[in-house]
Amino acid sequence: MVSTRSSSRADSPPRSPSPPPPPPSRSTLSSSSRDTTATATTSRTRGTFRHAPTPWTLLWLGVSLPLVIWDTGYVLGRPHTMEGGLAHWPLWSPYKLYGEVDHVYGWKAVREGTGFTAAQGLLNVVETAMYAVYLWLWRARGETTTMTPGGGGRRVVSGRAGALAVVVGFSAAVMTLSKTILYLCNEYFSGFANIGHNDFLTVLFLWIIPNGAWLVGPTYMIVSMGTEIVDNLGGTAHAKNE
């Protein structure tokens, strides 16, 4: 039995070694490289902060910024921008009426040396500069992207510039809202010392409605940009966009 097994082992032909696997072709390497690059690019794109102001934000800034600049020029230019001053007519002539409605803007505040109006005007300069930085980052550092195959595009600012734009815009909106509330509270806690001489309709149309706009606009920006900041910090922004 032993010899038979030995003989059969000796007579069986030796097994040839299995051939090595063929090397990957260039097409396979290229395809793998493209897939890896595409995956990395997609990962980087999904992790990049992207911001575009809403149409309502642009509308509000387009209306409010020229008015704030106009108002700031009047306040910081007093008494020359007031009635009888060298710079009053024609640019600041409407403030003759408003100064009679709200004495904070009239001769009463100037004669009494009230500093609140000028302090508010100085903050207007800082606030306007912040909005200017926000718009500059969006326009200068942004790129126009196509949103739909057959539609137009919108300008989007990405990365660090986009994140900085949102932080600056959000901070400016908080500043605007806070400053407006302070202005209204100052009047309330002074017993309406500067507008109490008017009838209700005058206060409604020339004081409440105009100033109320500076409560609505900044509040919208705070909610819009604040939601965007929270979504990106929470990692839910891309899930919403997909």
- Residue 197 to residue 219: CA distance in whole angstroms: 30
35-49: average pLDDT: 48
Task: Give me 68's structure tokens.
Answer: 């704030």
pLDDT at 237: 54
pLDDT cut 90: percent of the chain above it: 71
6-28: average pLDDT: 52
Residue 204 above 50 pLDDT? yes
- Residue 68 to residue 169: CA distance in whole angstroms: 16
Are 128 and 152 spatial neighbours (Cβ–Cβ below 8 Å)? Answer: no
- Residue 182 to residue 189: CA distance in whole angstroms: 10
Residue 6 above 80 pLDDT? no
34-38, 49-53, 161-165, 174-178: least confidently modelled range:
34-38
The confidence band for 221, taking pLDDT boundaries of 50, 70 and 90, is very high
- Residue 117 to residue 187: CA distance in whole angstroms: 12
Half-sphere exposure of 128 (CA within 13 A, CB side): 18
In angstroms, what is the C-alpha Rg of the chain?
34
The confidence band for 5, taking pLDDT boundaries of 50, 70 and 90, is very low
pLDDT at 153: 76
Average pLDDT over the chain, rounded to an integer: 84
- Residue 28 to residue 111: CA distance in whole angstroms: 85
Task: Give me 173's structure tokens.
Answer: 């909106």
* Residue (of 135, 131, 117, 133) closest to 72 by Cα position: 117
Residue 39 above 50 pLDDT? no
pLDDT at 234: 84
* Residue (of 94, 117, 82) closest to 187 by Cα position: 117
20-34, 83-97, 165-179, 187-201: least confidently modelled range:
20-34
Residues in CB range of 157: below 8 A, 6 or more apart: 50, 51, 52, 137, 138, 141, 142, 143, 165
38-42, 64-68, 115-119, 193-197: least confidently modelled range:
38-42
Please name every residue paired with 156 in a beta bridge, in sequence order, or none if there are none. Answer: 143
